[in-house]
Chains A and B, each alone.
Chain A
């Protein structure tokens, strides 16, 4: 029964991983940018939340109301300036630029915030408690909440992309920028909107991570970015449901690995990641290809 408990926890943590991964997947899917600063942006989201809570004293759970729009604006601005300038040169340049961004963010945080880790302690008695099913299975409300948020965000994003006017433009621009221009669409603006969404979701993931665990300046690259990559690769690039599946599989693999031996937790996740890369490089749910 310990196994069942851990697997359930693994599934729920997978929701958090999917939340990390969806922005990475979106930015690659739309503008072919592999954002190496993605994990650091989650950490920035966490730090901004710490600051916002300290200043405004809003409840931790509601900090996203301020942090997410702030990060979305940052996403739009960064995309329209630094990342677009890199894109205009070549796709490879975006790798260098986002890597540079990652280094700058990490060292900036070390400089101004020290290497100490932070967490976002939730001050809500219900959320911090857990409930039991039978005698062996205990589920934390916080994890359930995070998983629910992930499902809502992914569903909302899927709906937005497939049904809304801007979602349609994002898909059109992802398909063919030049043809989109001929229809009067400024693809750079559409890129900015996609980046705003990606930054917003990763900020939300950063806050959730701060509630669930703790973060330090280097958490972005040594943990979050890797998990996000793994979830995207396992699930299949460009498919949001694949991303959720990838996150869940990663979470469950880690839970099983931890059961085998405490030190194998992350290794197990990466073995699954490698196995998928070798056996099914398009991921478990491949994007419907039409071309």
Chain B
């Protein structure tokens, strides 16, 4: 852990010793993280590292076998996903998961149903993604992958969350589209949101993150500020080439 963060403000989201099983398989093994307000916290790792499981558990879609999740100072480990959403945790799920029989605007309206008070409205989302307003009456199946991803982000934003969980935004999208979508981040952060994202695309994650954590087979192999870690360290942590510094010989 970097000392500067340790002494900083109270974390908005804190995960302690989280262990999650998928049946017999241990998907997460005592994972801890502290996300400070206003941060872009990126979790990287290869396929099967447990990144998505971590985000889904924070959103409440998986029950942990051990450990706790605190949000805004309150323990939310046993709270149902819809209550967590209303309290300010919004997630853009992997694969976008739009409602296929609803139009673009209806998808956003569903996201806004139990919205907290805040700056984000459907109109504001239309300003963020300028193409969207003209196509608000279309079914989401008619949109391209990148456009669908934007609608999924908009659906999460209109709930006015305090922390936004982004699960593999780049999945299945062309690099140029990925860059364009990540281009919305500064505007989102400007409204006071905190972002916790999971990304397989390491270079993309390094570009936007203010803090980085690398998972490998359910364990943390590297953690720190992007500027403090070297490419070699990231590579080692990502592929597990050798024991990373933060995981000294513990089994």
Q: What residues make up the interface of A, taking CB atoms closer than 8 Å to B?
A: 165, 168-169, 171-172, 174-176, 178-187, 288, 290-291
Contact = CB atoms under 8 A, between A and B. Distances in A.
Nearest to A175: B99
Given A178-B93, A290-B139, A185 B101 contact: no
Contacts of B81: 178, 181-182
Interface in B72-131: 80-83, 85-86, 90-91, 93, 97-102, 106-107, 109-111, 113-114
Given A179-B99, A184-B114, A187-B82, 10 more contacts: A165-B113, A169-B110, A181-B80, A182-B81, A182-B97, A182-B156, A184-B85, A185-B82, A185-B113, A186-B82
A163 to B, nearest CB: 10
Question: Which residue, A181, A186, A291, has most C-beta atoms of chain B within 10 A?
Answer: A181
Contacts of B97: 176, 178-179, 182
Interface residues of B, number: 31
B101 A183 contact: no
Contact of B114 (A171, A183, A291): A183
A291 B100 contact: yes
A184 B98 CA distance: 15
B169 interface: no
Interface of B: 59-61, 80-83, 85-86, 90-91, 93, 97-102, 106-107, 109-111, 113-114, 139-141, 155-156, 159
A184 B102 contact: no
A289 B82 CA distance: 27
21 contacts: A168-B106, A169-B110, A169-B113, A172-B99, A172-B102, A172-B106, A174-B101, A175-B100, A176-B97, A178-B61, A180-B82, A180-B110, A181-B81, A182-B85, A182-B91, A183-B110, A184-B82, A184-B85, A185-B114, A290-B141, A291-B141
Question: Which residue, A171, A184, A288, has most C-beta atoms of chain B within 10 A?
Answer: A184
A154 B147 CA distance: 35
A172 B83 CA distance: 17
A183 B101 CA distance: 16
A281 B140 CA distance: 26
A290 B159 contact: no
A182 B93 contact: yes
Nearest to A181: B81
A41 to B, nearest CB: 27
Contacts of A290: 100-101, 139-141
Contacts of A288: 101
A287 to B, nearest CB: 8
Contact of A181 (B82, B98, B111): B82
Nearest to B100: A290
A171 B86 contact: no
A184 B140 CA distance: 21
B195 to A, nearest CB: 16
Contacts of A187: 82
A182 to B, nearest CB: 5
Nearest to A179: B97
